[in-house]
Amino acid sequence: MRSRSLGIAAVGRALPRHYYDQEALLAAFEHEWAGRLFNPRRLPQLHRNVLVRGRHLALPIEEYRGLDSFTAANEAFIRCGLDLGAEAITDGLERAGLAPSDVDHLFFVSVTGIATPSIDAMLVNRLGLRADLKRTPIFGLGCVGGAAGVARAADYLRAFPDQVAVLLSVELCSLTLQRGDISIANLIASGLFGDGAAAVVMVGPEHPTGIGAAGPEVVATRSIFYPDTQDVMGWKIGSDGFRVVLSADVPSVVRAHVRENVDAFLSDCGLALDDISSWVAHPGGPRVLEAFAEALELPREAVARTWESLAELGNLSSASVLMVLRDVMGNGRPPEGAWGLMVGMGPGFCSELVLLRW
C-alpha cells in the first residue's frame, strides 16, 4: 500500500432532468431551420456523424424559443447552473465522506455563461461553505478546462497539502445555441454539445482527517500552448451571445502535436507511452477522438469510455473529461500502481496533460 498522496477523493456529477434522444433533437432543429438551409439533407448527416445518441438540456426543449436575447439565455445559465453546481458538489462531497465546511478552495470553470458575483460565490450561501473559502473562478478555457482545472487544483494542494480543493465545472452549451446561425460550425454544434456539471474533490496528503483518495494520485501536469491557433476553436461574443468558432483544422492540429507533447511529458516523468494503461480523454467529437487515438497509436478500447460518454451525453465542454474520469473510477478501475493520463484540448489552441497513478 502506497503512502498517502495528493489524490482525487471523488467525482460528483449532475445532469439536467430534460433528456432527448438525437432524433428528437434533430426534428426540432429541422423545424427551426425549415426553408433556410441550402442543403436540408446536410443537417441530419451532420447530426448522425457526431455519433451522439442523446443529450441532457438545461431547459425543456419548448422553452428555448423564449430565449430571445443574450440576457434571457444568461439568466437561465445562472439559474440552472446554480442548481446543477450545487447538486454536483453535494454528490462529490458525499462520495468523499466530506462536508461543505471541509472545503478550503473552490475552483470554478465554465465557458457557457457569465456572472458577477460568479457561480462559485453564489454557492457559498446555497451550500453553507465557509466564509474564509478561497475561490478561483476561471472563464475561457473551453473544453480544456476540466483537465486544466484538475491541474490547477493539484498545484494548490502541493502548496497547502493539509487542505481540500474542489473543482466545479458547469457547462450549459444548449443555452449558447444561435438559432439565426446556419453555418456548418453551428449545425455541428447543434448536434454535438450537451449540458451537465461535474465536481472533482481533491485532498492533500496531509489532510488531518486522514481520508484516502478513492481515485488516482495526481503526479504531474503540463500545459501546452500552440502559437497562432486562436482561430481554431472558441467563441465570438457579441450582443446575441456566444457564436461558436469550430474549425475543420482541429483534428490536424491534434495529429501534428499530441504525440510529440505526450512523449516529451512522459519522458520528463521517467515514463514512456507503453507505461500508460488507462486514458481519460476529452470526447471532443468523432474526428478529434480518432485523430487523438491515431496519433498515439491507441486501440479503440483504450478510449472506450470516452466514446461511450460522447454517445451518451454529447460533448459537455470542460465537464466531459471529468465525466470520463468518474466512469473510469467507478467501472473497471485500473489496478493499484497503474499509470494513467488525462488529456484535454481547447481554445488557444492548447492542451493539458495530467499524469495519474492509481
Distance of CA 251 to the CA centre of its chain: 18
pTM, full prediction: 0.93
Q: Delineate the domains of the chain, giving CATH numbers in brackets.
A: 7-203 (3.40.47.10), 217-357 (3.40.47.10)
Residue 248 has pLDDT above 80, yes or no: no
* Model confidence at 1: pLDDT above 50: no
**Residue 116 per-residue DSSP state:** S
User: Choosing from 80, 143, 173, 350, which is the catalytic residue?
Assistant: 143
Least confident of 32-46, 192-206, 271-285: 32-46
Measuring CA to CA, how many Å separate 333 from each of 280, 324, 325, 340? 12, 12, 10, 11
Ordered alpha helix ranges (H), the chain: 22-32, 42-49, 70-96, 119-127, 145-159, 184-192, 250-268, 286-296, 304-313, 320-330
Does residue 121 or residue 235 have the better pLDDT? 121
- The torsion angles phi and psi of 103, rounded to 5 degrees, stand at -80, 125
pLDDT band at 181 (very low <50, low <70, confident <90, very high): confident
**CA pair distance 314, 53, nearest whole angstrom:** 8
pLDDT the model gives residue 270: 97
Residue 124 has pLDDT above 80, yes or no: yes
Closest by Cα among 157, 150, 11, 18 to 89 = 11
Q: Are strands 164-172 and 195-203 parallel, antiparallel or unpaired?
A: antiparallel
Identify the pLDDT of residue 135. 98
**Cβ neighbour number for residue 41 with a 10 Å cutoff:** 8
Active site residue 143: yes
Mean pLDDT of the chain: 91
Given strand 7-14, what is the order of strands in its sheet? 134-139, 105-110, 164-172, 195-203, 7-14, 217-225, 350-357, 339-346, 276-281
- β-pairing, 54-57 with 105-110? unpaired
| Residue 211 pLDDT level (bands cut at 50, 70, 90) | low
Query: Is the pLDDT score of 346 beyond 90?
Result: no
Q: What is the sign of the dihedral through the CA atoms of 312, 317, 318 and 319?
A: negative
Name which residue leads in pLDDT, 43 or 354.
Answer: 354
pLDDT (0 to 100) of residue 280: 96
In the chain, % of residues over pLDDT 90: 70
Q: With 80 as the cut, is the pLDDT of residue 245 above it?
A: no
Q: At which residue does the C-alpha cell 481533491 appear?
A: 202
Instruction: Determine the pLDDT at residue 90.
Output: 98
Is residue 3 over pLDDT 70? Answer: no
Mean local confidence (pLDDT), 173-198: 89
**pLDDT for residue 6 is more than 90:** no
Return the pLDDT at 212: 58
Q: Are 7 and 158 in contact (CB under 8 A)?
A: no
As a whole number of angstroms, the longest Cα–Cα distance in the chain is 64
93 pLDDT more than 90: yes
**Torsion angle in degrees (nearest 10) through CA of 281, 284, 290, 294:** -50
Q: What angle do CA 112, 231, 67 make, to 5 degrees?
A: 30
